[in-house]
Amino acid sequence: MKAFIIGRFQPFHNGHLAIIKHILEHNEYVVIGIGSAQLSHTLMNPFTAGERYLMILNTLENSGISNYYIVPIEDVNSNPMWVAHVESLTPPFHRVYTNNPLVRRLFYEKQYEVLSMPMMNRASWSGTKIRQKILNGGNWKSDVPDTVYNIMNDLDGINRIKDLSKDDEDPI
């Protein structure tokens, strides 16, 4: 089978990596959709689609994973058209992994097999919690792969998140 998963990956963390490994135990390949690809430089979405692409690519390559496609997907503000939009951008897939009720419903209505993903260490492995730890000076390095930590340092991502928190009214 061929699978699809979508996320914002702000940033890509160990939970994302564990889920992709889990998906690949049961599928030939996975299409990884970088959702809200048009958004960046906000507290909720600090990284660009290209930066997130780099985080995912480098992490999967360093993990010896090669059976994937990464596709940036911009938002479409029309739920009935969203699945067709995704299909127009991606290689074919038959199975969708998501815990998002709207995504689940939209793909189900288009006859896809939709499966839930295991929740892995949600106490730490959440983009929101990682961004909060960065803002609060907490230990977050162990929540992301080393490749992501290095990329975030190269991008000055920690200071970007801190700077964005000063005048961004978006919730984390």
Q: Which two tokens stand for residue 104?
A: 């689940």
* pLDDT of 66: 97
Work out whether strand 113-115 and strand 95-97 pair parallel, antiparallel, or are unpaired.
parallel
Whether 117 and 136 have beta carbons less than 8 Å apart is answered as no
Angle at 14 between CA 10 and CA 18, to 5 degrees: 120
pLDDT at residue 124 above 80?
A: no
Percent of the chain scoring above 90 in pLDDT = 90
CA torsion 151→146→45→100, rounded to 10°? 150
pLDDT at residue 168 above 70?
A: no
Maximum distance among all Cα pairs of the chain, rounded to whole angstroms: 45
- Residues 42-80: tens digit of each pLDDT: 999 999 999 999 999 999 999 999 999 999 999 999 999
**Please, where are the H alpha helices in the chain?**
14-25, 49-62, 79-89, 101-109, 127-136, 146-154, 157-167
pLDDT at residue 165 above 70?
A: yes
* pLDDT of 172: 56
Give the global pTM: 0.93
